[in-house]
Homo-oligomer: A and B are copies of this chain.
């Protein structure tokens, strides 16, 4: 075959580093964790670096911020670059394990500005996070035109069966506002395939 590189590199936008330097390393109330994530999602729209979504991983108890990511599908040129996928991967690199739920590491939250699509939902049990905190709902995301994909209806109980708690509608209005801002700004609805 023609050449395939042996390294896949994913570059985060420069502004994330600046953003993180200005923020606290620990955030405790769930609503404050979500506000932080929504702010990053809004910045991603403002900077034009991707879709209107952000996600972060925190240590559940201590509130330590472990990773922050934003949607980079359009700027990174890869359809898997949803905020949740990147936040989970960055957190696993930092903690040094593919299982954030391992017995010898603290429990972790995934905080997402919007309800996970089918792919990100599927990624959650593999990741080892013990709790998922969601802002905007699936219907809010679909309302601006994104197809969230072939997703199981009763996703919360499917996560709960696997020992993963969920908290939804956290600062939902603020999260929806980011979606609307993106839509109003003419942001690309790089859709999941809806028809041939």
Q: Which residues of A contact B (CB under 8 A)?
A: 1-2, 4-12, 14, 16-17, 20, 23-25, 64-68, 73-74, 76-81, 85-86, 88-90, 92-94, 96-99, 101, 117-123, 125-128, 130, 147, 149-152, 155, 158-159, 161-164, 190, 192-196
State which of B8, B93, B98, B122 has its C-beta within 8 Å of the C-beta of A12. B8
Given the complex of chains A and B, what is the CA–CA distance between A41 and B79 in angstroms? Answer: 24
Residue of chain B at shortest CB distance from A194: B162
Q: A6-B17, A79-B127, A80-B80 are in contact. List 6 more A-B contacts (CB 8 A).
A: A4-B17, A73-B126, A77-B93, A79-B88, A125-B149, A147-B162
Given known A6-B11, A92-B79, contact A117–B128 (CB-CB < 8 A): no
Name the contact of A20 in the complex, choosing from B4, B74, B92 (C-beta under 8 A): B4
A65 to B196, CA, bound (A): 22
Assess the B8–A9 pair: CB atoms within 8 A: yes
Copies in the complex: 2
Given A163-B195, A164-B193, do A80 and B90 touch, yes or no (CB 8 Å)?
no
Q: B8 to A86, Cβ gap below 8 A?
A: yes
Query: Which 5 pairs from chain A and chain B are nearest by CB?
Result: A118-B122, A119-B122, A163-B196, A150-B158, A125-B192
Contact A77 B92 (CB under 8 A): yes
A90, A161, A162 — which one has the most chain B CB atoms within 10 A of its CB? A162
Residues of B within 8 A of A20 (CB): 1, 4
